[in-house]
Amino acid sequence: MRSLTLFVCLLLLALFAKAQGSGGAEQKHLIYFTDKNNSPYSVAQPALYLSAKAIERRSKQGIALSVRDLPVNSSYVSGLKATGAKVLYTSRWFNAAVVQCSPEKLAELQTLAFIKGTQQLNRLPTSASGKKGTQSNDSLKLEKASFDASYFGPSFHQSNMLGIPELHAAGYQGEGMTIAVFDAGFPGVNSISAFSHLFQNGQLKGTYDFVGNKKDVYGHSQHGTSVLSTMAAYEPGRIVGTSPKADYYLFRTEDAATEHNIEEVNWLLAAEFADSAGVDVINSSLGYTLFDAPSYSYTYSELNGNTTIITRAADLAAATGMLVVTSAGNEGNKAWRYISAPADADSVLTVGAVDSLSVHALFSSVGPTADQRLKPDVVAMGQQVYVLSSSGNLGRSSGTSFSGPIMAGMVACIWQARPKLTNMELLELMRQLGSNYNNPNNTIGYGIPTYARLVTGLADELADGISITNPVLEEPIVLRMDETWQQENALARLYDASGKLVHTQMLFANQAVHTLSIRPSRLKKGIYLCQVSSNSRNVTLRFVRL
């Protein structure tokens, strides 16, 4: 009888284990270390673990290095490997390692003196489950489209809404800036003609697939390809992205087929890589709330800026001087409604979506965060946006997945134009440039930022001893010159946003004030450049004709 009872108990335990989906199978865990003691690295020698560009970014923004920046203790990693556990990655910021092991091996690891705690990252499903992320299906649909247009082609309106044509005409197309794109795959990017300049000009700085643990990212979901096209594509007359001359890193962090907490850790690892490589802007068109059963899903109360793995990672990324631009989510017309993680982070620029008429897109997730902070921060066009598919076809697609990168490209160009700003100053500037800045809300945040607001906000722009009237209504356009400019004759050339020369005028020596002879009524509304040249000097000023 005792033997029968023991048999039944063992059988019940086996059935319970099977029902829990464990069955002794290897799963992924985040293993936290106790400290970084006895590290061979130090904050005094950052070049051993950070690139020169990463160090420069911190230096420019006055960000001091800390223990958090140091790599994990290598002896602890060796200790994990000595047990037979498979170590996949390590995290500097979380002082942890991603380990794949069986439940029995996990129990063994938890007894090690240098282990502080563990967190499960994926589980075997008890039943068939589909992807439940906040990336709605409408963001993946493509419609055929083809018609003629100038320079920007069909993508003109989504860029023009932010003043991108004027921004590019002013010489800011992202040169010198580096953007890292986190997504679910980039098929076709290495063969589509609109991306060929990235390879020819050396603008593609690196790739890595954190899901598959390999460098090749040119497979899997075409979502990343479409996202990248809104920023980096360059095929005049067909599609031009908002930041075509920036440098790029492409990271696959998202497994489009499933949804587990491991993808948040993939995001963390990519952000650390981006930091060490000297990236300026992270674009993330990813958001997390619900996960495939039985993995742990978040509640709205946990979107408080401090709880989810990915939100904590995003704030740590911001702490290094990078600006994280993240999509708000596509849950606005669904039961969840609210933004997703990491859009709840307090140090990221969260981007919602509007349609072509600048009206809030119904699918665009709304705020506030669980701790009642206003979100999204800003909005851009995200409904019926022109993007490229993995085959290179031009089509239209909808989602904050696209308003986010459109904005990220603009951010890179603005930062190029204002290089002395810190990432947090730039984030605040983007809010100030918004159409809804004086009356922000939890639907469109501070509104649609435009480059014209940046130029208008400068009043009479001053550069190298000379200023010009700004903005211009009907009053004369006046140039004021300091004594050094008055010592010789100069020539003023006025260009519109397309680069067309609209006025030329001599500026004679010994005059402090010059009134341009062109009537403002002859100028169309928009941004203009005034180039003033003498034998020894050359300066370009901007103004807006309202």
**Domain of residue 258, CATH code:** 3.40.50.200
Q: What is the DSSP string of 144-193?
A: E-----STTGGGHHHHHTTTHHHHHHTT-S-TT-EEEEEESB-TTTTT-G
Whether 67 maps to a domain, the answer reads: no
Give the pLDDT confidence score for residue 307 in this predicted structure: 95
Q: Which CB contacts under 8 angstroms, 24+ apart, belong to 157-160?
A: 157/356, 157/381, 158/230, 158/380, 158/381, 158/385, 158/386, 158/406, 159/240, 159/242, 159/406
Whether 104 maps to a domain, the answer reads: no
Give the pLDDT confidence score for residue 423 in this predicted structure: 96
Whether 485 maps to a domain, the answer reads: yes
Mean pLDDT confidence for 310-323: 97
pLDDT digits (tens, 9 = 90+) for 346-372: 999 999 999 999 999 999 999 999 999
Q: By C-alpha distance, which of 360, 337, 527 is closest to 448? A: 360
Give the pLDDT confidence score for residue 457 in this predicted structure: 65
2 pLDDT more than 60: no
Whether 244 maps to a domain, the answer reads: yes
Q: What is the DSSP string of 269-283?
A: HHHHHHHHHT-SEEE
Residue where a domain terminates, one of 455, 486, 517: 455
292 confidence band (pLDDT: 50, 70, 90): confident
The token duo for 273 is: 């890589």
* One domain for residues 444 and 401: yes
* One domain for residues 515 and 385: no
Give the pLDDT confidence score for residue 149 in this predicted structure: 53
Catalytic residue (choose from 364, 401, 403, 467): 401
* One domain for residues 440 and 484: no
Q: How much is the mean pLDDT over the chain?
A: 88
Give the pLDDT confidence score for residue 123 in this predicted structure: 59
Whether 166 maps to a domain, the answer reads: yes
Whether 393 maps to a domain, the answer reads: yes
Whether 304 maps to a domain, the answer reads: yes
Give the pLDDT confidence score for residue 8 in this predicted structure: 36
Mean pLDDT confidence for 288-295: 80
Prior bond to 294 cis, omega within 30? yes
Q: Which residue has the tokens 């995003």?
A: 314
The CA distance from 253 to 309, in Å, is 14
Give the pLDDT confidence score for residue 458 in this predicted structure: 53
Catalytic residue (choose from 29, 168, 220, 223): 223
DSSP state of 365: -
542 confidence band (pLDDT: 50, 70, 90): confident
Whether 97 maps to a domain, the answer reads: no
Share of the chain above pLDDT 90, in %: 71
Compute φ and ψ for 432, nearest 5 degrees. Answer: -65, -30
Per-residue H/E/C for 14-77: HHHHHHCCCCCCCEEEEEEECCCCCCCCCCCCHHHCCCHHHHHHHHHCCCCCCHHHCCCCHHHH
Residue where a domain terminates, one of 410, 431, 455: 455
pLDDT digits (tens, 9 = 90+) for 152-187: 999 999 999 999 998 998 889 999 999 999 999 999
Give the pLDDT confidence score for residue 110 in this predicted structure: 94
Of residues 80 and 256, more confidently modeled: 80
pLDDT digits (tens, 9 = 90+) for 30-51: 999 999 998 889 999 999 999 9
Catalytic residue status for 183: yes
127 pLDDT more than 50: no
Give the CA dihedral 398, 399, 402, 403, nearest 10 degrees. Answer: 110
pLDDT digits (tens, 9 = 90+) for 4-27: 333 334 333 333 333 333 446 888
Catalytic residue (choose from 69, 183, 209, 247): 183
Q: State which residues form the domain around 270.
A: 137-455
Catalytic residue status for 401: yes
pLDDT digits (tens, 9 = 90+) for 394-418: 999 999 999 999 999 999 999 999 8
Bridge-based pairing of strands 143-144 and 234-235 is: unpaired
Could you give the C-alpha distances from 349 to 181, 318, 426, 500, in angstroms and in order? 15, 10, 10, 35
Counting the structural domains of the chain, the total is 2
* One domain for residues 194 and 304: yes
343 confidence band (pLDDT: 50, 70, 90): very high
* One domain for residues 380 and 468: no
Give the pLDDT confidence score for residue 132 in this predicted structure: 44
Specify the CATH number for the domain of residue 484: 2.60.40.3080
* One domain for residues 421 and 507: no
